[in-house]
Amino acid sequence: MVSSSKLKIYGVVLGIFVLGAGAGGAAGYAVASKRIAEVLGDERPEAHEERRFEALAKELDLTREQRKQVRSIMQRHREENRQATRAVFEKCGTELQDLRSRVDTEIRSVLSEAQQKRFAELMEKRGKRFPLGVPPRFRKGEGHRD
């Protein structure tokens, strides 16, 4: 039989492991959300396009005339590119939400009534955070702010 002190040690080690896993997951989520927000941020929507243009100009050693032509092409297709990006994120976001819903339903089925209540609170908190699949500016009904 395992002694009481060994059980306490195992409990502490398990607790540390669980806390570490939770902290690591939360940190990963925060970093991913921040990176997505930076890439898709509203502050200056053409910033990504500008970085892409500068990288192309440098890597391809574009002449002044080529730079003007490439910039014009990118500007001409800017809105089309934004719409396509929005569509991709809406589709992925919907699939992600559907998956989360199915997983949450399965998890609820194994929880006690008290655990289900706490789970609901946790899921409400999760819903208030930035969802990875659908950044706010790409949610249905919310267009790009210029």
pLDDT of 28 above 60:
yes
Nearest-angstrom CA–CA distance, 135 and 94: 12
What's the whole-model pTM score?
0.39
Tokens of 55: 């990288």
Nearest-angstrom CA–CA distance, 2 and 138: 55
Mean pLDDT for all residues in the chain: 76
When mean pLDDT is compared across 28-42, 112-126, 129-143, the lowest value belongs to 129-143
pLDDT of 135 above 50:
no
**What confidence score (pLDDT) does residue 64 get?**
92
The H-assigned helical ranges of 61-144 are 64-76, 78-108, 113-128
Per-residue pLDDT reduced to its tens digit, 57-105: 888 888 999 989 988 898 888 888 878 877 777 777 777 777 778 888 8
> CA 127, 98, 135, 31: dihedral to nearest 10 degrees?
70
Give SS3 for 70: helix
pLDDT of 39 above 80:
no
Give the DSSP H or E segment for 60: helix 47-60
What is the pLDDT confidence band of residue 40, given thresholds at 50, 70 and 90? Answer: low
